[in-house]
Amino acid sequence: MNISRSIVLAAAFVAAISTTVVAGDGRTGALKVDGAWARPSIGKTGNSAAYMTITNSGGTPDTLIAVATPHAGKAELHTHIRDKDIMRMRQVKGGIPVPANGKAELKPGGSHVMLMKLKEPIKKGTMISLTLTFKYAGNVTVHANVQMSQGMKGHKEKKKEKMHKHN
């Protein structure tokens, strides 16, 4: 095999490896992370939230215990709880459990990753990286698409809808 053919094959191998990382997907041990996405931030600095589904195909439960990202000064695991008639967001103590042969869904109105002290605005159409730390499976980095969720409308759409509301 000549040198130029070796270089072409090596380049093709590197390209194949780099294209196998799909936005939002990641795997560590028996855990697979799918569909990671984050909301765009509002204003110059602010907060955002990230969501995903974590599937455990193994027979041992695990726990998501931490998240880190270079895009925010602080990332915490949060959930919503009902306090009488008010929904409140609270930091999750001890992490988010991922049951054996089950899944944990991080979604709006439930458990999620809270991104605080953003270093710059997170804009729709971009992607952010999140490193998830599990109690037993270790770390996995996923890439979250920044997008509006289904049914989530921006301020302009809400204002327009309110103006066109019929009684």
Please state, in angstroms and rounded to a whole number, the distance separating the CA atoms of residues 2 and 118. 50
Contact, 125 vs 146, CB < 8 A?
A: yes
| CA separation for the pair 69, 24 (Å, rounded) | 14
Quick check: helix, strand or coil at residue 11? helix
Domain ranges for the chain: 21-149
**pLDDT, tens digit, 9 for 90 and up, residues 134-159:** 999 999 999 999 998 744 444 444 44
For 21-149, CATH number?
A: 2.60.40.1890
SS3 31: strand
Could you tell me whether strands 62-68 and 112-118 are parallel, antiparallel, or unpaired per DSSP bridges?
unpaired
Percent of the chain whose pLDDT exceeds 90: 57
Other CB atoms within 10 A of residue 78 CB: 19
Q: How many CB atoms lie within 10 A of CB 39?
A: 21
Residue 9 gets which letter from DSSP?
Answer: H
**pLDDT of residue 2 exceeding 70:** no
Q: Give the pLDDT band (50/70/90) at residue 39.
A: very high
**β-pair partners for 37:** 51, 145
Cα separation of 151 and 127, whole Å?
20
Residues in contact with 64: Cβ distance below 8 Å, sequence separation at least 6, in sequence order: 54, 77, 95, 96, 98, 104, 132, 133, 134
Mean pLDDT of 13-28: 48
Place of tokens 């996923």: 142
Q: Per residue in 90-143, pLDDT tens? A: 788 999 999 999 999 999 989 999 999 999 999 999 999 999 999 999 999 999
Confidence of residue 29 (pLDDT cuts 50, 70, 90): confident
Is residue 89 over pLDDT 80? no
Whole-number percent of the chain with pLDDT over 70: 73
More confident residue, 85 or 166: 85
Tell me the residue type at 154.
Answer: G
